[in-house]
A and B are shown apart, each in its own frame.
Chain A
Amino acid sequence: MSDTGFRPAHGEADWYDEKLPRAIRSHRGNPFRTIATVTLVVVLASLLGISSAYLIIEREQPLNAVTLGPWHAYPKAGTSEADPYSVAIYTRGAVIPLASGEGLALVAREDSNGHELDPTCVYSIAGQTPSARLWTLTAVDGHGHLVKTMSGRVNLASDALLRNADGTFDITAATRPHSGNWLPLASEARAADGLRFVLRVYDAPVTTGAALDGVSMPTIERLGCP
């Protein structure tokens, strides 16, 4: 940044000399440059701030999740103790959460190996759930909406389930009918639609204070993809 071109004619301006250290050399502000810099900073900051907020809200994954294998629960979302992100996510979606006295919803977006769920694949959901008076398992798309299935049914409930002798169960989630417990997936599914499993446990000790740690949850294994 050389100032020689703007050096005034009279001798008092000797301290403009290049020999002075840079930090104490006089600076002739250029208003256009200043305005341009401030505008650039404001525009970049707005872009960064708004897009990062949008991305976090759009992912629809509140921050303080309780993770049990592939399942995530958000016991604090939808209460007065919720963090600002889940408040934004829940109010934006106008979601009415399951209150603690009703039950707890657990959502899986990935299988037990960490691969994202794909509605064109066949999954086996097996094991046992936390003790509850009733639970339902629902398959929804990546945005949480229900999808049309071949049977018209979109969920399974604990009271109409075939169980093994030891109380565990095996559920096959697939588009086409399967023997045993069949959870129908979208009949016209594309991988891009996304898939989530929602397990809602009703009147379960896990929703009313008992620790969620060490609770056994079903595993989700991918059996095959077309």
Chain B
Amino acid sequence: MTLSSRFSLSVGLLATLCLAAIIHILVVLSIPHNVLHSAYDNIETYGPDRQFNLLPDVRPGEEALPDLDPAMKHAACRFQLADGPVLFDASIPAPFWSIGLFNAAGEAVYSLNNRTAGAERLSMLVLTTEQLSILRENPPENLEDLIVIETEEPLSGFALLRAYVPHPNRADSIDRALKAASCGSIR
């Protein structure tokens, strides 16, 4: 069977376009699996897991992580729920602070700020459903006061704590509060 040259040209073009669309989709979908440095990897460079590490101030040319607000101070903590529940505890003397929980892919899982936290002190417990049911058998006294975040699967991710610095003379006390913030196991 011989096709007219115009028809073979259209078939060729159509094949090219369809294949191009498939390749385009594959490339876009494969990028997240092939990035060299995810946010989760970047945070590892600032200190050990399961503790809040103060990130350097956001200044031109020395941004710790991309797209952070230079008006804020940041502390980050990597954690793996497979190693046990994580208790976040912090008291930050800033007019605004917020915490975001992100999974290893960098998707926001949970977030709150100092108004929605309902108290000046941040005390938040992140655990899996299974860990919660174990904990309920012998609950710690302050379980009622904690914000409890339940995840279905053992989450590996990080928390980013942002604190607004209203004036440079408040920077030291906010630094100290962020360094003192805990991201560890429940006793």
Task: Mark A residues whose CB is within 8 Å of B.
Answer: 1, 22-27, 37, 40-42, 44-46, 48-50, 52-54, 56-57, 78-80, 82, 84-85, 87-88, 90-103, 105, 133-134, 136, 138, 144-149, 154-155, 157, 159-160, 200, 202-203
Contact = CB atoms under 8 A, between A and B. Distances in A.
Given A23-B1, A52-B20, A138-B69, 8 more contacts: A53-B23, A91-B35, A95-B39, A101-B111, A134-B96, A145-B61, A146-B70, A202-B98
Interface in B22-50: 22-29, 31-32, 35, 37-39, 41-42
A139 to B, nearest CB: 10
A116 to B, nearest CB: 20
B67 interface: yes
A100 B108 contact: yes
Which of the listed residues B25, B108, B110 has the most CB atoms from chain A within 10 Å of its own CB? B108
B98 A101 contact: yes
Interface of B is mostly: mixed
B28 A95 contact: no
Contacts of A88: 28-29, 31-32
B143 to A, nearest CB: 22
Contact of B20 (A49, A94, A144, A203): A49
A177 to B, nearest CB: 18
Interface of A is mostly: mixed
B67 A154 contact: no
Contacts of A97: 67, 106, 108
B108 A147 contact: no
A103 B28 CA distance: 28
B178 to A, nearest CB: 16
Interface residues of B, number: 62
Contacts of B31: 57, 87-88, 91-92
A101 B116 contact: yes
B184 interface: no
Nearest to A102: B98
Nearest to B166: A159
Given A24-B1, A45-B23, A102-B162, A203 B98 contact: yes
